[in-house]
Amino acid sequence: MSVFGILANYYPTLLGGLLVSVELFLSVSVLGVVLGAGFGVLGARNPVAGAVVKTTSFVVAGIPLLVLLFWFYYPFQSLLGILISPFLTAVLVLAIVNTAAIAELVRGVLTDFPKQYIVAAQMAGLSSNDIFKRIQFPMIFRQIIPSVLTTQLFILQCTLFASLISVPEIFRVAQNLNAVLYRPVEIYTTLAIFFMLVLAPLYYLAFLLRERFTRDFSER
Amino acid sequence: MLTAHNIEKKRGGRHILHGIDISIEPSSIVSLIGPSGAGKTTLLNVLSGVDAPDGGEVKVDGEDLSNPSPQVAMVFQQLFLWPHLTLRQNIALANRSTEAEITELIATLGMEAFIDRYPNQTSLGQRQRAALARAIALKPKYLLLDEITSALDIEQIERVAALLEKLRASGLGILLVSHLINFAKRTSDQIVFMDGGVVIERGGKEFVSSPQKQRTQEFLRFF
């Protein structure tokens, strides 16, 4: 069976897997960005919170995602005597990873923001609100948005690991399909092309944003 | 009058300023000269409210100054133009000058050709002029200028000198840090020589030709 034959015959199954992947990614992305931004701002304003954000980020980055996923899926639930669905477990673990990464990103950018730009704005008589809206936010947004986008694309790739705890996302569906049809070349090549078509433009967008917004601000 | 009395400033365990007294009257230009590391920039930061002194007081027309305020504008040595805004937007952001006033300022400083560029698209000399324009557009009572001529050519220095004289005539009090002794001598009503965080000597513009203190003589011997 050709690639097109597989797509024509099994598109409802593949589409189902794709929808689970999209749902998983959007949940993790929204949670990670919102919580990460919140913890990042908190960490920049409060030294204790800052230390917690740094340490958490360090610890999370130091544990392989697969280990974290399996630990939350088996020992964690066994220890607490609870049962969480594979999908929610994947959301929980990926959201922790995403939140830690975004929080440290936001904290770092806010902490390192040069104070003199704010002083110059105070001198110009701008209110605190105006300083945030017209100076801090645009500068920080431009600096941070490409990195946030790149992190989200990394997280999108990581959603494939959810297949290992039986989440029926696109990779899991492809594996199941291959078990029935045994057409690994066609199935996995299709999957690779699909991800490339989705991810490559987004990586290019991140590159363009980096070029446009975080262009060389250094003054010669 | 902008006055600083008995200013002390320490940083990182180092004593930078030792009991500095200085005042800038309206319609006057005071130049601060001295070797690198003398404490000139630190003093400007204290006078502008950017840094709080560890001792002494800064007053603007009798009122304590504890925070940066549009009354005392400063042009930093590193300029700190907002990088996401064009030079024109940098100058106009505070909205304290009319469009006509800003256009006149741009023309006075010869910035028409590059005014709509971003700071990183311009030379240091162009940015120095933009930073000066940004400070002037705030319509401050006092203007503190830290090395604003370091990257300007002779023609631009003349433009700036003429502008400073015009600002002085309009009632502005100006404190100028400069390594260009001739520029300081030409523009200033008073010159203050600092070294090691203390004022060594001060006087009218003629004092740079005949300093009394040995340290001042040493510093000015190449002039």
pLDDT of residue B39: 92
* Under-70 pLDDT residues of chain A: 214-220
Residues in chain A: 220
- Put simply, the answer to whether A123 touches B68 (Cβ < 8 Å) is yes
pTM above 0.80, yes or no: no
A17 in the Ramachandran plot: left (φ > 0), alpha (ψ -120 to 50) or beta?
alpha
- Chain B neighbors of A138, CB-CB under 8 A: 84
Residue type, B201: E
Interface of A with B in 124-183 (CB under 8 A): 124-126, 134-135, 138-139, 142
Distance of alpha carbon B193 from alpha carbon A64, whole angstroms:
62
- Alpha helices (runs of H) in chain B, residue ranges in sequence order: 40-47, 87-92, 99-108, 124-136, 154-169, 181-187, 214-220
Cβ contact B36:B169 at 8 Å: no
pLDDT of residue A215: 55
DSSP codes, A48-108:
HHHHHHHHHHHHHHHS-HHHHHHHHHTHHHHHHT----HHHHHHHHHHHHHHHHHHHHHHH
Distance of alpha carbon A152 from alpha carbon A32, whole angstroms:
9
B52 in the Ramachandran plot: left (φ > 0), alpha (ψ -120 to 50) or beta?
beta
Return the residue of B nearest to A116 by Cα: B80
pLDDT above 60: residue B161: yes
Buried b (16+ CB within 10 A) or exposed e, B147-168: bbbeebeeebbebbbebbeebb
- Taken in order of first residue, the domains within chain B and their CATH numbers are 1-71+141-155+168-223 (3.40.50.300), 80-139 (no CATH)
B129 touches chain A (CB under 8 A): no
Tens of pLDDT, residue by residue over A29-73, are 999 999 999 999 999 989 999 999 999 999 999 999 999 999 999
pLDDT of residue A214: 64
**CA angle B155-B161-B162, nearest 5°?**
90
- Put simply, the answer to whether A123 touches B93 (Cβ < 8 Å) is no
pLDDT above 60: residue B83: yes
Distance of alpha carbon A175 from alpha carbon A180, whole angstroms:
9
What spatial distance separates the first Cα and last Cα of chain A, rounded to whole Å?
A: 61
For residue B86, what is the DSSP state? -
A196 touches chain B (CB under 8 A): no
Compute the average pLDDT of residues B97-105: 91
- Put simply, the answer to whether B80 touches A220 (Cβ < 8 Å) is no
Q: What is the mean pLDDT of chain B?
A: 90
Structure tokens that stand for A5 in this block? 């034959």
Name the residue among A27, A10, A183 with its Cα closest to residue A99: A27
**CA angle B168-B172-B176, nearest 5°?**
75
